[in-house]
Structure 1
Amino acid sequence: MADPVISLVVERTGDLLVQKIVFLKGVRGHVERLQNDLVRMRCFLKDADQRQDEDARIRNWVSEIRAAAYDAEDIIEIFASKLEFFTKDKGLVTKLTYYPLKIVNLYKIGKEIESLRMRLNDIADSREEYGINNLGEGMTTHGEELQRIRRSSPFSEEKDVVGFGEITKSLVAELLKEDKNRRVVSIVGMGGAGKTTLAKKVYNHADVRARFDCRAWVCVSSSYNHKETLRTIIKQLYPMTNELLDMLEKMQEQDLEQRLYQDLQDKCCLVVLDDVWKEEAWDCLAKAFPDVNTSSSRLLLTSRNRDVAQHADARSKPHELKTLGEEDSWQLFLGKALDHGANVGCPRDLEEVGREIVRRCAGLPLAITVVGGLLLGKKELKIEWEKVLNSFNTNLSKSQSGVSAILELSYADLPPNLKFCFLYLGLFPEDSVISVPKLIHMWVAEGIMQKRDAKNLEETAAYDVEQLFSRNMVQVAEMTVDERIKSCRLHDLLRDLAIRKAEDENFFQIHGTRDDKISAKPRYLAVHSLSLDKNYFGTSTSPVSAFFQCPLLQEKH
């Protein structure tokens, strides 16, 4: 989490050097050395970021770096503005009058930066004191362990599946089409939407079983191992013998690719590639699957990233898995939460609180399944269901495979610039329809957008919105006539994730009532539905970078 903070601060200090070079030339060397220190700190942060959730020492260390990075940005920006005031658009006499103040402020900023550099050095040295040397060596991160636990299998097919009837028929029909070329049929959707569950239904469908001579299922995941993936597929194409196992263990990647390629040439086979995160993973695997003159073999791919699916087969439109509707959500919930299943219906005294629990799940099958499973182990008492509702977010993230942890994998996979953009969306109230042009202007004005690949800032921001949509981190509310995103919304559970991550970083804080306290150092402060007065903030000296009264910023449907 601190890595995007440092990345943004490094870019902003670089921009300030360019923009304010006339005013900062007296301390340019100080600023450049500070920037270099922050760049070096990033070397330690990637592994620390992945491990801080389970290690309080690392979490504290990362927090110190984050605070120093924020202070660096404040120091440079404040003093640059002061020096600009003393110098810009002033006559000669005025400039001479202000010259002593300019010298004093140049001295002050130099001292402040040197003090901050000493602080960064102390933080770097404190790794030994905290006992967190050798970050990343021989360690399994929480995300990797979670993915290992969740590796899918086609044999544990879900019962009580609802809402997948039509899309299952469509997927089966596409897989059974006659075509001698390699075809990849894809299912895309946000984490927890039921992609793997749907793929299992298709994989075990009677028509699919009858059509294909052999079937193979492999979970790819973000921690992709090419050799192991190839071995897993080949093992499912043949009866296992000790001789085959020994041979596969000794084969190199190129040999495994060639073996699989040859095996698929004369077989009518279905291969499921579940949970593909990167285009690079597909590119590695594609070499092992014949592209022409096949025996009608097919690939079924699931991914959270729409771009991965389109990259695998541009001719095949990905099947997008939407969240469940109200009635399907209710039926799934009843099937998971009650011993007697959904057919008997819900006890009358539980229905109101039950439907509120379902509403909070916002149509996400994984959330409904987790909460329903939790209630199944409790008595069918209203007070027990109300306890679950009142501690909703805590209950969703209790287990290692909890909803929050699953969605957090999608967040962890975002590059630093997209992490900041995603966190920013958490500022908006629940169920907001967010105008993308307005959002882009806000990102640009706040300096969150950095120019990349020769794009101007507005183009870069629009591209980042598209990337968040492609990764199923935002939902489209409305499209323009030229098929660009006009407005978007954030799923409630993803918004909860954004708020939790942002508050961990002191990136922003949301106030919903006058009783909420301002934390030590939020960078942004959002106030939802409050009439403000001059006494609202009391005597707080918190250095808030920006303030938003959110009802003025977006519509709410």
Structure 2
Amino acid sequence: MVDAVVTVFLEKLLGALSEESRIFSEFRDHFETLQNELLLMQSFLKDAGRLKRKNQTVRSIMANLRELIYQAEDILADCQLHSSDDVPISSGWLMCIYPSRLRFQYQTGKSLGEINKKIANIKQNISSYLGVPLLSQLEPIDAQNELMPRWSSPVYDHTQVVGLEGDANKLKQWLFEANNDILSIGVVGMGGLGKTTIAQKVFNDRSVEEHFERRIWVSVSQTFTEEQIMRSMLRNLGDASVGDDKGELMKKIHEYLLGKRYLIVMDDVWSLDVTWWLRIYEGLPKGNGSSIIITTRIEEVAQKMRVKEERLHWPKCLNRDDSWLLFRNVAFAASGGECMHSELEDVGKEIVEKCKGLPLAIKAVGGIMLCKPLRYHEWRRIANHFRDELAENDNSVMASLQLSYDELPSYLKSCFLCLSLYPEDCIITKDQLVHWWIGEGFIPLRNGRSAVEAGEDCFSGLTNRCLLEVVDKTYHGTISACKVHDMVRDVVITMAEDDAFFKPDDTNCRHLGITTSTVQKANHKLRALLSTTKTAEVNKISSNSGTKFCQSQYLRVMDLSRSIFDTPLSSILNQIGFLQHLTYLSVSNTHPLVQLPHSLEKLSNLQILDASYCQNLKILPSCIVTFKKLRVFDVSHCGSLKYLPKGLGRLSNLEVLLGFKPAKSSQLEGCRIAELRNLIRLRRLGLQLTCSDEIGDTEVNVLVNLQELQHLSISCFDSHGDDLITKLDKLFPPQQLHELSLKFYPGKMSPIWLNPISLPMLRYLSISSGNLAKMNERFWGDDNSVWKIEGLMLESLSDLQEEWVKVQHVMPSLRVVTVSWCPELVSFPIEDIGFRGGVWK
């Protein structure tokens, strides 16, 4: 990963040197020397990185280089912190007034000089070790390969399944034949064979959904407890029980399933000790044709879990034709799965043959090729690299995953290693990953590009390479949550430990995940501390550990979301001012957080502040409006928050603002909606409106000139008064808006600006709850204008009386439709039928 560490540091150094800060005038020569040395080394760092897996000497050299880069990055951060102070640092008699500055300059200059000498020696050692002939053959970094493609959404459709239809049909036939007792089915095979994919295809099949009254999916990790399994089953049944013991939990499960035909999937069971399952099994109601599917790599596990021999299914590897079809679907996803280059077909088939019919291996190597140029020599190089990996490791899945890591652009290697912190089967939100990457500077930013957009592209870069599994999507298909396949997780943990990115149970590492009760020692190397709990779980943190977190002076990322502290969180946050390098802070869903402390005012580097889902949060400190670097500010779902502080319009770098509650005219300390005019970089905005007093007569045009705004959400929950409807009718969004969400809209008629002429670029529209009964006449456009909407969601609109056929007529580009609880919607089809290649939900 050293090439990734160097790339991240050079990106930060380039930005710092371009700032022309006063502090850098003292150290510019040192930093420029360091920059030049690292630029010269970049061309062979990747090759040395591969070699270090096989050679201890190179491993040691690279480890030393990595530590030196981290030290240099900390020095750079300190320099930037000092340069932002108001105290003069010029030479001369002022130094006697500020002796601490003199000491800082002396120590910094000395440290940088020593680092430069050591890096020069390392460069010489690597050159000597690799040999001049080998160095001369090394190609310079492929600039095109390192550039970030603008893939804001996945190119490859992860819902596609190839070659497993026969397996799924066999399992469905068994399920429909079940009558008495409980039918147990086992799906057994090696890792990467597609066992989980087959079970998912069956579980989500419409006929299976209609056949079973209750369906439960449980991912069984290698480290689980019987209680965790029961709680997971109950969550599937809509019960988030917290305080019950195992006996009460099993009793609840029995009551929910009694008299019902149910299907339970126990996915990826490893343990040969199945006493936990036998106890659960005995507590399940019998009969009614209920069934259980167990996926495992070990036949004996399935047998011990009461699967009979005749109900064991062994999926086979994909045949040659299906293997090539799956590879094509991934590698050529940008052209609809068609290979348009005949010279690449032979190389592609050679690569596919080495995958031995294992779907995970095929998708991983296909993902590599999707992100590579369609050039013969590049494909040949990848084929040769794959051959070399297989020579070292005959497991085609692990070899393909190692190849995928090696071929990642440098900026994506750091992003990928972040996955090592999450426990097995943990659901990971896209927002947390993107915010982490932004906070630690893993994402290259060029030409003033949006940090959030660049982060989302990095996320798509990993999903397109099939290194992330899709767990949840929005109604129009944008991925919002993911997880990591256990074999991918094995690779990423190995790489993270090898590169000292993260080591489980190592409290002296630079990245730490909070999963349960975390005992934290003071760790001055720590860069990132994140909540990595599984769904519906919380962190239990002692005040002593919480205090220790605030002693890690180089911490960039602190995510304390879903945490419970044994003392009020504010007592810990009062010490947060010590973390002056902090760029990302999340206290989302921490209770009972009533207010953020004024110690936050020292966090001048803060770029992301997430206080969402803090229902008791009543007040925000005024210092927030001084965070000039703030890009993301989220206070959504904070029901007790009355308004945001006055002066928010100064945050000119803000890209995401969620939960904006404008102040009323009587709330003089609050931010009025007019200040939004100044936030010209906003890409995503969430408005909370309840009364007309929050929008002045001269403020109704605040959104029109926000030219970067793409996503707008307006919620009028608990609103009152017809005057608000009148104001909303004048609150015209900008024409380039891409996605619009209206929640609890108070009017009977849709707003006048909701029409294809005012919003010609709108692609996704969601309207949920509220009083909407009819669409304004302008909604239907005219002979020269129709909607370009591709995704539509209508939900809980009990009064909506429009004709569905009419809606379809003005939205010819519809691909995805989600409609629920709209009983008066005339002629909406009840049956699940396709249209124009789209999907009904």
- Residues 279 and 98 (structure 1), Cα distance of their counterparts in 2 relative to 1, 3 Å cut: farther
Tell me if the contact between 1:507 and 1:524 (Cα under 8 Å) persists in the aligned partners: no
Provide the rounded CA distance (Å) in 2 between the counterparts of 1:84 and 1:407: 43
What displacement does 1:409 show? 1.6
Residue in 1 that maps onto 2:34: 34
Q: In the alignment, is residue 441 of structure 1 matched against residue 561 of structure 2? A: no
Contact 2:468–2:482 (CA<8 Å) still a contact in 1?
yes
State how far apart, in whole Å, the 1-side matches of 2:540 and 2:134 are. 45
1:472 deviates by 0.5
Task: Give the TM-score taking structure 2 as reference length.
Answer: 0.35
Residue type of the alignment partner of 2:39: V
Tell me which of 285, 290, 299 is aligned to 2:342.
Answer: 285
Who is 1:417 aligned against?
A: 411
Structure-1 residue corresponding to 2:79: 79
| Change beyond 3 A, Cα 1:128–1:542 | farther
Is 1:455 the counterpart of 2:449 in the alignment?
A: yes
Equivalence for 1:116: 115
With over 3 angstroms needed to count, the CA separation of the structure-2 counterparts of 1:415 and 1:460, relative to structure 1, is: same
On the 8 A contact 1:279/1:308 being kept in 2, the answer is no
Task: Give the structure 1 partner of residue 294 of structure 2.
Answer: none
Q: Specify whether residues 464 and 287 from structure 1 end up closer, same or farther in structure 2 by C-alpha distance, changes over 3 A only.
A: closer
- The equivalent residue for 2:498 is 504
1:426 is paired with a residue of what secondary structure? Answer: helix
Q: Distance in 1 between matches of 2:561 and 2:491?
A: 19
C-alpha contact (below 8 Å) 2:30/2:116 kept by paired residues: no
- Please state how far the C-alpha of 1:118 moved relative to its aligned partner: 0.3
Residue number in structure 2 paired with 1:363: none
Whether the aligned pair in 1 keeps the contact of 2:8 and 2:411 (CA below 8 Å) is yes
Distance 2:129 2:373 in 1: 45
Matched, 1:531 2:651: no
Amino acid at match of 1:118: K
Query: Counterpart amino acid of 2:166?
Result: G
Please name the residue that 1:297 is paired with: none
Q: CA deviation at 1:504?
A: 1.8
* Structure 2 spans left out of the alignment, 5+ residues: 139-161, 171-190, 198-315, 347-356, 375-390, 506-514, 533-538, 564-585, 590-841
Residue 235 (structure 1) aligns with: none
What do the CA deviations read for 1:45-96 (whole angstroms, capped 9, x no partner)? 12111211111111111111111111110111123323433637x9xxx977
Q: Using a 3 Å threshold, how does the CA distance of structure 1 residues 400 and 277 change in structure 2: closer, same or farther?
A: farther
CA deviation profile, 1:12-38 (whole Å, cap 9, x unmatched): 111222346233222222212211212
- In the superposition, relative to structure 1, how do residues 82 and 29 fare at CA in structure 2: closer, same or farther (>3 Å)? same
Task: Flag structure 1 segments of 5+ consecutive residues without an equivalent.
Answer: 140-160, 170-189, 204-216, 218-269, 290-299, 314-396
Offset of 1:495 from its aligned partner?
2.5
Residue 424 of structure 2: SS of its match in structure 1? coil
User: Are the aligned partners of 1:476 and 1:485 in contact in 2 as well (CA < 8 Å)?
Assistant: yes
Shift of 1:545: 5.2
Q: Matches of 2:487 and 2:344 in 1, distance apart?
A: 38
**Residues of 2 paired with 1:436 and 1:415: CA distance?**
20
CA contact (8 A) 2:526 2:552 kept: no
Deviations 1:498-521 (A, max 9, x none): 232122222234446768999995
For 2:466 and 2:345, the matched residues in 1 are separated by 28
Residue among 460, 469, 477 paired with 1:466 = 460
Structure 1 position 488 matched with structure 2 position 488: no
SS at match of 2:318: helix
Letter in 2 for 1:430: E
Distance verdict in 2 for CA 1:527–1:507, change over 3 Å: same
Structure 1 residue 429 displacement after superposition: 3.1
- For residues 310 and 54 of structure 1, the distance between their equivalents in structure 2, rounded to whole angstroms, comes to 27
| Cα pair 1:523 1:543 within 8 Å, conserved | yes
Helix, strand or coil for the counterpart of 2:23?
A: helix
| Map of 1:127 onto structure 2 | 126
Give the C-alpha shift of residue 437 in structure 1.
2.7
* Cα offset, 1:525, TM superposition: 4.8
What SS class does the counterpart of residue 476 from structure 1 fall into? Answer: strand
CA distance in 2, matches of 1:527, 1:103: 39
Aligned length: 352
Q: Is the 8 A contact 2:402 2:491 kept in 1?
A: yes
Which amino acid is 2:441 matched to?
Answer: G
Deviations 1:474-500 (A, max 9, x none): 112222234322222222332332232
Q: Match for residue 7 of structure 1?
A: 7
CA distance in 1: counterparts of 2:129 and 2:521, whole angstroms: 30
Percent of residue pairs bearing the same amino acid type: 25
Cα deviation, 1:422-452, whole Å, max 9, x if unaligned, reads 1113223332222223332232222222214
CA distance in 1, matches of 2:439, 2:192: 31
Q: Amino acid of the residue matched to residue 85 of structure 2?
A: F
User: Which letter does structure 2 place at the counterpart of 1:200?
Assistant: R
2:166 corresponds to = 165
Q: Does 1:49 align with 2:49?
A: yes
> Higher helix share goes to which structure?
1
Instruction: Describe the superposition over 1:494-553 as per-residue Cα deviations: whole angstroms up to 9, x where unpaired.
Output: 233223212222223444676899999564455765524436869x98966545557557
Contact 2:95 2:102 in 1 (8 A): no
- 1:100-134 CA distances to partner (integer Å, 9 max, x unpaired)? 44344233322221111001011122236756665
Going from structure 1 to structure 2, the CA distance change for 1:193 and 1:15 (only over 3 Å counts) comes to farther
* 1:363-442 to 2 correspondences below 5 Å: 400-401=394-395, 403-442=397-436
Query: How many Å apart are 1:471 and its aligned residue?
Result: 0.9
Distance in 2, Cα, partners of 1:12 & 1:51 = 27
- Does structure 2 conserve the Cα–Cα contact (< 8 Å) formed by 1:524 and 1:545? yes
RMSD, matched Cα: 5.0
- 2:525·2:552 contact (CA, 8 Å) conserved in 1? no
1:385-422 alpha-carbon deviations (Å, 9 max, x no partner):
xxxxxxxxxxxx99542644432222112111111111
What is the correspondence of 1:6-405 to structure 2 with a 5 Å cutoff? 6-19=6-19, 21-85=21-85, 87=87, 98-127=97-126, 134-135=133-134, 163-165=164-166, 197-200=317-320, 202=322, 285=342, 303-304=363-364, 305=366, 400-401=394-395, 403-405=397-399
1:106/1:20 CA distance change after superposition, 3 Å: farther
> What secondary structure does 1:508 align onto?
coil
Q: How far apart, CA to CA, are the structure 2 residues paired with 1:502 and 1:40?
A: 25
Q: Look up the SS of the partner of 2:408 in the other structure.
A: coil
Cα distance in 2, alignment partners of residues 103 and 59 from structure 1: 38
Name the CA shift for 1:496/1:401 in 2 (closer, same or farther; >3 Å): closer
**2:518–2:545 Cα contact (<8 Å) kept:** no
Amino acid in the other structure paired with 2:544: K
Code of the residue aligned with 1:10 in structure 2: it is L
Question: For 2:111 and 2:555, how far apart are their aligned partners in 1?
Answer: 20
Which structure is higher in RCO with an 8 Å CA cutoff and minimum separation 6?
1
Distance 2:368 2:43 in 1: 29
CA distance in 2, matches of 1:409, 1:472: 13
Rounded to whole Å, the distance in 2 between the matches of 1:277 and 1:127 is 38
Q: TM-score, normalised by structure 1?
A: 0.51
Deviating more after overlay: 40-49 vs 129-138: 129-138
Residues in 1 aligned to 2:368 and 2:24: alpha-carbon distance in whole angstroms: 43
Cross-structure match for 2:640: none
**In terms of Rg, which structure is larger?**
2
| C-alpha separation in 2, matches of 1:411 and 1:57 | 22
